[in-house]
Structure 1
Amino acid sequence: MTKKILYLLCIFAALGSLGAQDKAEKALEIFSEKYPQEKIHLIFNKNSYIAGENIWFKSFVFDGYNLSSISTSMFVELYDSNKTQIAKEILPLLNGQGSGSFMLSENLKEGIYYIRAYTAWMSNFSEDFQALQQIVVYNPSSPEKLVLDDASKWTASVFPEGGTFIDGINTKFAVRLHSKGITPSDWNGYVINAEKPDVKITSFKGFDQNVGTFSLTPKTGVKYQVVLSDSKGNRQVVDLPYVADSGINLQVSTGNDAVKFSVKSKNIAPGTVYKVIGTIGNQMVFKINSDKILEKTYSIPAEQLINGILQLTVFDEKESIIARRLTFVQPGMLKIKKPVLQSMQLNESPRASNSFNINPEQNNNAYTVLVLDGSSENSEDENSFLSTLWLTGDITSKIYTPSQYFTTNRNNEALDALLISEIWKRFDWRNIMSRTFPIISYQPQPYISYKGKVSVQGKPASNTELNLMFEIPEYGTKLFQVKTDDKGFFTVKGLIFEDAIKFSYQLNDPKIPKEQVQVIFQPDYSFVPLKKSLPESNYTLVQRQSDDQLSEPVKRYLATKKTQASIYEKATLIEEVKLKARKKDKTKELNEKLSSPMFKSMNETIFDLVNENNSAQASMNILSWLQGRVAGLTIESSMGSYFPKLRGSNINVYLDEMKVDPSQISSLPVSDIAMVKVIRGYFAGGFGGGNGAIAIYTRRGGITGFTNDPKASTQLKQTVLHGFDKEAPFVNPDYSDQNFSTISKDVRTTLYWNPYVEAETKDQTGIQFFNNDDAKSFKIIIIGFDEKDLVPIYYNEIVK
């Protein structure tokens, strides 16, 4: 399950033989190996909605700083502000990515709603790390309307760097603002001695709505306070911590070249041994254990690390934590691959055609592309793909506009101050050192999995073979066989299908009448109830007055909603024509023709013997020809027969999707083979085959293995299994077609949405969209991820 993050470790060896304890290191190693942790970023087609509309979203699931391979399914739920669940879906995750949609009811009241997204594996950890996105939904027919809450009072907290405040040591403080509503953007403060309130010791101005900072050299016996005020005259007085007369203080400075730190001390006995451990995520990237630690400034080379939150923790000789600090690695040099847009043809005229090309990225399979009216807002404005990956995916406290810390005009000092006010919560050193690890109650299952129980006349059918006949549109009926255990149970794993699939079943024993056989199916997954309270919103509901005027965004949503039905109706026919006319890749077309849905996988390698791979014709056996062509695949021979293994484990061989003994392939002429695919891991056709399979398709069209009599299944008992929830199609109008000329008004804010634009490996990826009636600029958002270099691919700009 564990996928280790590839860091270039910067481990400083212990200075001398000091007999240091290593309880922390061993605990972290166990935690990192057994308890990897996922985080989710959600992107929406727009920022707010109106009742009766569709919500479209895209998800990226990360295991630390890499796309996750832990989970292949994601649960998504929609709640109202009273925590009443309105809808729920289960969606497939392909290479850590998924997409879906929710239809908002016409009768939905105006208010704040929440979309919760999580995986089964994430349910083993704190709910605070699950994605919980606030959604604004308008409805002019509701008796109440939403208004921003700018009247709630704000409070503040102060945090000394490293967590200690010691006599005579100059200490940096972070001041953090909190509010149920909105915190002020214009605020300042000063520090006083409580006994001399008229004398300002030091003054400062807040960076943003989250945080400000100041430094102070304290004296024992003095009670310090910070006095804060905003532009509206609101005032807060906050006590600073008690000044200790001894101890140590951890001080950190972060630059583009290195993370530097020093440990200052007061009244500490010389020769005391301290240990400092640096972690990114759940991985240790730095360690030093020394009795000289109080005498030096240490430097961790930043080029050997990755962008992310670095946690530095100071332990004493008993491995008790005495100081800790979070900082961000290379905040001034974010490692981001920016897509190159070429052949850009933009036209601000009403309903004009616009287009651009995206240069190919070698290590990216697909892009998420969103184009909006340049004057509109979107979900990336508040919490972006970058801020989830590097900040909010691991920090659970409320942060106003976290995306601001990763833009081109970002304030790195503000981000550093923010992290001074935070404590790492992905794990607690004390818990893992005492071997108090999370309780694993939910294991990730491969895609859709079902449990079944077979009984005959009410008694379990032990160790019995059961035939399952799936009715697949366009492919006929497909036969599979499973075997029950001692108690009559069996499991079907790795199913990938949408909506529902009909199938029939029969015991592989003609002596037992079908009327005596009963099979009960139960999903081998479950939605996990949300236990915690929903977060507070920046909005409040007030009574709607009869003379209230609708806001401009709501007017736009209403106008768009009226024409959307017409757009969908006209676009359906056009899209069908486009699909027929679209040129398809020959290998893809061959795969679509020969493979049934149950033999398709994201983890497949295809060899087209019709249009390419002419060298295969010279081989006497297709299995021997595969040797060396697929990573991890080995072909062993014995007495003239070939037996395939994938990463050392035996895998099955299928001929036209019927399981066969590998020895049977030796008599099959290669010239009769149209296509071969090597499938890694689970796939529906293998029913939990484990390591994968080799599927061989003959030039006869891949019909072998399907039942000859399409009516046979109707003679058996039938049932239905439910699969993944189907995503509603997002339709972009095509004004080059005259059918759209009757649309009277187009004020769409979302001009183009595609959660999965396949990246061309050689040619540029082309994007085309049509303007609305009044947009004068376009906001283009392109998101992907380079899995080789572990860096995000990100573009978010307004262009004209």
Structure 2
Amino acid sequence: MKNIFGVLLLSMVQPILAQTKLEKAITSLEDNYEQEKVYVLTDKSQYAAGDKIWFKSFVFDGYNRSTLSTTLFVELYNSDKKLIAWKTVLLTNGEGSGDFQLKEDLPEQVYFVRAYTPYMTNFNEEFQIVKSFPVYNPNSTESLVVSKSSDWSAKTIPEGGNFINGVPTKFAVRLTSNASLPENWSGKIVDAQNPNVSITTFKSFDKNVASFTITPASGKKYQAIIQDNAGKSKTIDLPQVADSGLHLVVNSSKEGIKYTLKGVNLKQQLQNYKIVGTINNHLAYKATIKQLSNEASSLIPTKISNGANGVFQLAIFDDQDNLVAQRLCFIKPNDLKLEKAEIIGQSIKQTPRSFNSIDLSPESYFKNYTVLVSEDDGTQKPEEDNILSGLWLTGDFTTKIDNPAQYFSKTANSEALDALLISEKWNRFDWNSVLNGSVPTIKTKSQKFLSYKVKPVKNNALMINSSVILLLKSGKSEPIISPFQTDQSGYVYLNNLSNDEPLTVSLFANSKDDKESSAENLFVTAEPLVNPTPFTGNFPGTKYKLVKASGNKTLPPAIAKAINTQKNIKKTESNDIEIKEVELVGKKKDPKEELDQQLSTGMFSSMNSTIFDFVNEDQHAEGMANILDWLQGRAAGLTFQKNNSGVNVPYIRGQQAKLYLDEILTDPSMISTLPINNIAMVKILKGAGLIGDAVAIYTMKGNMKSKNKGKEAPKNNSAIIKGYDRPSEFLVEMIDENAKIENDTRETLYWNPNLFDSDYVPPRIKFFNNDSAKQYKVEIISFDESDNLLYQNEIFK
């Protein structure tokens, strides 16, 4: 919706022709105020320690998916603003996905996910999304409870911003709180000199807003007396009544946006007043009034937004280009332009552990879907936010809005939405600043993918304006060898990398005869040009508080199910290992078994172990910085968290695992410096007797010959570029009865952030029921090539 120009006015209103200060400000908006916003969908609204958080991110430029950024940082914080983990997410057409594995010993409290693109750091931090959710832990010494009492504040805002003598004026009443708002509230308007007599009354539309209309008299002081359902009362002053000014009234309907202007005691009436409408910082409508008159009105057609929904900002300027009134309204609030998925077949059953499927049309304009299927037991409250509220409200307004999704539900009250927008102000830019010529400082420009600054060093000195050779290798792919010239600072730049597995960068320099390359006395580092930025703001308040846990800790039913699901997963993993061990009985010992017997003592022998043989098998570990980095994602239940030194620390099922080197207890820093070519075997032990959960590393003995012999361990002339974090795979499977699972309690039954129409013909949503679900909540999101939104959130039975 860029550069849309609309003019539809009465005979007294003519288009603006002259280049004025206002015209220059509008041009500045178009050129300098491109901004992004993020919506993050998570598979659940609350978690148990040890759960995995699945997320899908959508990045928008206005109301279209953004093409500005290809990188998104998603960070996980605790309540003390300590960064727990972060992901670098690859964005494709403004969409990207990932996951966080919560540790089992995570303290019970509220946690926060922050998401932003590097380009968003040029603007106010408050526009970065910060999403909160509670995490429960039955072993924590503190418990989360919903705060029963909360303090709140209120304000009254006149439509258009002016309160003028003798002019009926609509007001919005807005309540805000750092915690919870009262369920309902009401109030009355009084003359401060006669507070016992009510001039008018109002009742809240919802927890956020109410509205009323009053005709003021000059010299009077008016007050709003507000009382909530708990009996708490507050008195708020209305603005002072003015004797002159501009009154603005706006009404939005299917036909368009009608505005009416009324001038009171203006010297030149409304002559040469300008009307400017913007959508997402872009001009959508402009006009000027040429005739002498105290009143003007017009209907702005919905074609200014191509019929799409969104927030429209109307600003009125006087003949000197001073801002005199402004108002936000929603385009077509009762006619949301949303597509629904075309379902051509479905098989939905209530039988425990039954297979279910939903088939989508392969002929649809929508080709890529985000799908979430969850159990719906009929007790869940309506969702508090969704992609609609993120796109049209919370992405652009920094004030906390309670349950913003309600404004776009089937039972939405358009009058409540209108009152909410009267109470808000468009803060993506300030008209007065733009009129004065101010523009935002863009320190971080939009970049394609990831870029790195490579610093070659030879004999402890920078290689300035020198020819070097870089060898780039990722996984099993063939290496790429390229010549580079360092700049006057001694750097080489690698731009536009989109790798999602480690990339080894090896440095070579030409020898004196320029015929051979050498790695002697070389050192290289690779630093990303853009890094995550520290969070300096405050997290939004929540409705929860921590109290000391009682003896018998009560958990929400959904959390008790989540904890049982974690136990089921562990049983399944254990069962898989036992089956593999049984299959080996009676078979001839293979070389891996013989190596294990040769290196392991009885204490480190276990049926519940995973072995990686570096003597008899090529593990393709060349190019990896150390064995801990190589182990990432290679064993079920084994995860890693970086410590303060940046070294990976192993965790098994959320608990920190012990590290052994040749069966001697050691620490990660010692292992991180061990050359991989010196390693004979790695053994992952889960619950092994006296050892417990452990990672055991064994070095070469005697005349052992590794499959990697001849492949040198990484030298100082190599550096590792991590790249983007690859999302984990959500497994669509039934809890096997052979795993002795008595009660399947999975809440998230299906998660697919990228269901392509080419994956199946037709595209198929397939999942297995748990043991209790009688109906399923299915959420589907998609965009076509024109960025028309498909959104469906309904119950399937």
Letter of the 1:308 partner, please give it: G
Match of 1:795 in 2: 792
Q: 1:437 to 1:380 in 2, by over 3 A?
A: farther
In the TM superposition, what is the alpha-carbon distance from 1:144 to its structure 2 partner? 1.1
Match of 1:621 in 2: none
Match of 1:444 in 2: 446
Match of 1:565 in 2: 570
Match of 1:520 in 2: 525
Conserved? CA contact 1:47–1:377, under 8 Å: no
Is residue 207 of structure 1 aligned with residue 205 of structure 2?
yes
1:636-715 alignment, distance < 5 Å: none
Is residue 273 of structure 1 aligned with residue 272 of structure 2?
yes
Measured in 2, the distance between the counterparts of 1:710 and 1:484 equals 34
1:191-270 alignment, distance < 5 Å: 191-270=189-268
Match of 1:772 in 2: 770
Conserved? CA contact 1:781–1:797, under 8 Å: yes
1:717-756 alignment, distance < 5 Å: 717-734=717-734, 742-756=740-754
Match of 1:357 in 2: 359
Match of 1:323 in 2: 325
The alignment's TM-score, normalised by the length of structure 2, stands at: 0.78
Match of 2:483 in 1: 481
In the TM superposition, what is the alpha-carbon distance from 1:31 to its structure 2 partner? 2.9
Is residue 10 of structure 1 aligned with residue 12 of structure 2?
no
Match of 2:162 in 1: 164
Letter of the 1:255 partner, please give it: S
Measured in 2, the distance between the counterparts of 1:72 and 1:378 equals 35
List per-residue Cα deviations over 1:438-484 (Å, max 9, x = no partner): 11121233222111123333444344333222333333333333332
Conserved? CA contact 2:565–2:744, under 8 Å: yes
In the TM superposition, what is the alpha-carbon distance from 1:503 to its structure 2 partner? 3.9
In the TM superposition, what is the alpha-carbon distance from 1:749 to its structure 2 partner? 1.1
Conserved? CA contact 1:449–1:524, under 8 Å: yes
Match of 1:679 in 2: none
In the TM superposition, what is the alpha-carbon distance from 1:226 to its structure 2 partner? 1.6
Matched position secondary structure for 2:104: coil
Measured in 2, the distance between the counterparts of 1:566 and 1:502 equals 38
Letter of the 1:724 partner, please give it: Y
What runs of 5+ residues in structure 2 fail to find an aligned partner? Answer: 580-707
Conserved? CA contact 1:21–1:317, under 8 Å: no
In the TM superposition, what is the alpha-carbon distance from 1:291 to its structure 2 partner? 3.7
Letter of the 2:297 partner, please give it: T
Q: CA RMSD in A?
A: 2.7
Conserved? CA contact 1:43–1:380, under 8 Å: no
Match of 1:553 in 2: 558
Conserved? CA contact 2:475–2:503, under 8 Å: no
Matched position secondary structure for 1:491: strand
- Single out whichever of 155-164 and 81-90 deviates more from structure 2: 81-90
Measured in 2, the distance between the counterparts of 1:155 and 1:553 equals 33
Conserved? CA contact 1:567–1:731, under 8 Å: no
Measured in 2, the distance between the counterparts of 1:556 and 1:260 equals 52
In the TM superposition, what is the alpha-carbon distance from 1:89 to its structure 2 partner? 1.9
| Aligned residue among 484, 493, 497 for 1:491 | 493
Is residue 142 of structure 1 aligned with residue 147 of structure 2?
no
1:115-154 alignment, distance < 5 Å: 115-154=113-152
List per-residue Cα deviations over 1:307-331 (Å, max 9, x = no partner): 1110001111221111100000011
Is residue 302 of structure 1 aligned with residue 307 of structure 2?
no
Q: 1:369 to 1:18 in 2, by over 3 A?
A: closer
Letter of the 1:297 partner, please give it: S
* Identical columns (%): 38
Match of 1:609 in 2: none
Q: How many residues were matched structurally?
A: 659
Matched position secondary structure for 1:449: strand
| Aligned residue among 171, 174, 181 for 1:173 | 171
List per-residue Cα deviations over 1:545-569 (Å, max 9, x = no partner): 1134333222112111211234567
List per-residue Cα deviations over 1:396-440 (Å, max 9, x = no partner): 100001011111211111000000000100001111222221111
Measured in 1, the distance between the counterparts of 2:243 and 2:380 equals 51
In the TM superposition, what is the alpha-carbon distance from 1:262 to its structure 2 partner? 0.8
Match of 1:346 in 2: 348
Q: 1:572 to 1:504 in 2, by over 3 A?
A: farther
Conserved? CA contact 2:15–2:288, under 8 Å: no
Q: 1:196 to 1:360 in 2, by over 3 A?
A: farther
Measured in 2, the distance between the counterparts of 1:25 and 1:409 equals 41
Measured in 2, the distance between the counterparts of 1:438 and 1:341 equals 46
Conserved? CA contact 1:20–1:317, under 8 Å: no
Match of 1:397 in 2: 399
Q: 1:46 to 1:361 in 2, by over 3 A?
A: farther
Measured in 1, the distance between the counterparts of 2:712 and 2:320 equals 70
The alignment's TM-score, normalised by the length of structure 1, stands at: 0.78
Measured in 1, the distance between the counterparts of 2:493 and 2:418 equals 50
What runs of 5+ residues in structure 1 fail to find an aligned partner? Answer: 575-708
Conserved? CA contact 1:571–1:733, under 8 Å: no
Measured in 2, the distance between the counterparts of 1:351 and 1:761 equals 24
Conserved? CA contact 2:524–2:718, under 8 Å: no
Letter of the 2:527 partner, please give it: Q
In the TM superposition, what is the alpha-carbon distance from 1:235 to its structure 2 partner? 1.8
Matched position secondary structure for 1:515: coil
Match of 1:113 in 2: 111
Q: 1:60 to 1:164 in 2, by over 3 A?
A: same
Letter of the 1:41 partner, please give it: Y
Match of 1:595 in 2: none
Matched position secondary structure for 1:476: coil
Q: 1:197 to 1:358 in 2, by over 3 A?
A: same
Letter of the 2:57 partner, please give it: S
In the TM superposition, what is the alpha-carbon distance from 1:69 to its structure 2 partner? 1.2
Conserved? CA contact 2:279–2:312, under 8 Å: yes
Matched position secondary structure for 2:479: strand
In the TM superposition, what is the alpha-carbon distance from 1:499 to its structure 2 partner? 4.1
Measured in 1, the distance between the counterparts of 2:296 and 2:29 equals 31
Measured in 1, the distance between the counterparts of 2:44 and 2:15 equals 59
Matched position secondary structure for 2:560: helix
In the TM superposition, what is the alpha-carbon distance from 1:366 to its structure 2 partner? 1.2
